Amino acid sequence: MFAFVKKWSIVSAGLLLFSLWVAGCSSQPKPRAKVSELDDPSHHVLRGQDMIKKDRWNDARREFRLALEMKPDYSPALAGQALVTAHETTLAGKSKEEIEKAADKAMELLNDSFDKKQSDREEANAHVMAIRILTILKEKEDEDWLDEAEDHYEDAVELYEDEDNSKLSNLRAGPHFYMAKAYQEASEFRKAITRFSTVLELNLGFTREADEAIEQLQKSLRVETGTRLGKRISKSLSITRGDMAALLVEELLLPRLYSRDGNKASYDTNFKPPTKEFISQQKREIPVATDIDEHPLRSDIEQVLQLGVRGLEASPQHLFYPNKTILRSEYAIMLEDVLIQVTKDRALSTRFIGDSSPWPDVNPAVYYYNAARTLVSRNIMTVVDKTRGEFGPLLPIQGTDALLGIRLLKNELESYIRKPES
């Protein structure tokens, strides 16, 4: 009897373990069934890559997820999800813990994409994605990120140029382009130009982006030397009103320009008794701007406010908005005003009024039209899109463009700068 019970217990335990194994297997989600001809992992990855190019990161995540639902170990989809996850670290409002978690998850997904690769094409894709991810994460992941990116670049180039991978030859521009972007982020401008030039030589994609990048990088090289503030701003994709005030003071030396002998204001020093209006004004005196007290560039802002640069005034509510991003149209207004104030050539303010606009995105009736025409005619500003001939008035002025424009204006006004007294 005891032997029978013991034997039955062993059998029961075996059945129990088997049932648990079956239950565990059944709990794993089954791959999603195909619902249409284009409902295919490779198609969803391509769509995800398209969404990234359009800066639609949430849609990209959805496409990569759809691919993984059908094929959980699909390397290109894992690499795509890694890139989207890395991008999360750049979003505003993320805590330090959230950023670190996203960075770790991105690297985990990237490693998975290498582990699951099933072809040289998928491995090459993973290397290119690694360059892009490391460029986004930069020091968040490793201070030697650029060295790692270069290793992935070399591996990707080797795979794409392998004679046995002739079908990949049309994709050879990818690693060169994204390595150039990595060099650009690392302020290795000359190396970036070399890689972008390779993209143009190959003529296999990314040519327009590479051409525009080279032009921008050449501007960066032109402003590589200069003030501490200039070096910092040259790397920015936009600048604020506070930044602009500091640039005018530090780079353009605006106070010195405005204080030259021919531009000094005249003062009546004769004694006059205080009037009721004067006394009343003194009692209710209000600061020119009430939102700059704690701003680190307060002294520069106050100087610019005193000089009265058009476009950098305080509002009727005495607000300067020091952290507001400056648009290209606003930048044109500011530099045109400096040009007019220093040269005393008032005719500049109406020179192009009545002319037809050379740009499809600027109506000649808008308030900044003459300023934009003035600066472009003097090569202080350039169009943003040579192919379409667009000025881009509503785009932020980039740091390099802002700094270069100010230095070009400074050179043009050099003869107006009063030499310091010995």
Asked if residue 30 is part of any domain, the answer here is no
Q: What is the pLDDT of residue 282?
A: 42
Q: What is the pLDDT of residue 252?
A: 87
- Tokens 């490793």 -> residue: 142
Q: Where a domain ends, among 144, 171, 198?
A: 171
- What whole-number distance in Å separates Cα of residue 42 and Cα of residue 27? 26
Q: Is the separation of the CB atoms in 376 and 391 below 8 Å? A: yes
155 and 238, same domain (yes or no)? no
pLDDT along the chain (422 residues), means of 10: 44 52 55 70 92 94 93 95 95 90 95 94 95 88 84 94 77 94 90 94 91 83 64 79 93 81 42 50 60 93 93 94 96 96 92 95 96 95 88 94 90 67 40
Give the predicted TM-score (pTM) of the model. Answer: 0.63
* 3-state percent breakdown (helix, strand, coil) of the chain, nearest 5: 65, 0, 35
Asked if residue 26 is part of any domain, the answer here is no
Q: What is the pLDDT of residue 6?
A: 44
Q: Where a domain ends, among 128, 150, 171?
A: 171
249 and 393, same domain (yes or no)? yes
Asked if residue 20 is part of any domain, the answer here is no
Asked if residue 15 is part of any domain, the answer here is no
64 and 155, same domain (yes or no)? yes
346 and 254, same domain (yes or no)? yes
66 and 142, same domain (yes or no)? yes
Structure token pair of residue 356? 């037809």
Q: Is the separation of the CB atoms in 237 and 184 below 8 Å? A: no
- DSSP letter (8 states) at residue 368: T
- DSSP letter (8 states) at residue 273: P
Asked if residue 306 is part of any domain, the answer here is yes
Query: Of the candidates 335, 310, 317, 327, which has an alpha carbon nearest to the alpha carbon of residue 393?
Result: 327
Q: What is the pLDDT of residue 237?
A: 83
Asked if residue 184 is part of any domain, the answer here is no
What CATH number did the domain enclosing 132 receive? Answer: 1.25.40.10
Residues 6+ apart with CB under 8 A from 363: 357, 369
- What whole-number distance in Å separates Cα of residue 205 and Cα of residue 199? 8
End-to-end CA distance of the chain: give it in Å, rounded: 118
Asked if residue 159 is part of any domain, the answer here is yes
236 and 147, same domain (yes or no)? no
Q: What is the pLDDT of residue 416?
A: 66
Domain count for the chain, please give it.
2
Q: Which domain holds residue 161?
A: 41-171
389 and 241, same domain (yes or no)? yes
315 and 401, same domain (yes or no)? yes
- Tokens 């521009």 -> residue: 173
243 and 386, same domain (yes or no)? yes
Asked if residue 13 is part of any domain, the answer here is no
- What whole-number distance in Å separates Cα of residue 11 and Cα of residue 115? 40
Q: Where a domain ends, among 171, 186, 213?
A: 171
247 and 369, same domain (yes or no)? yes
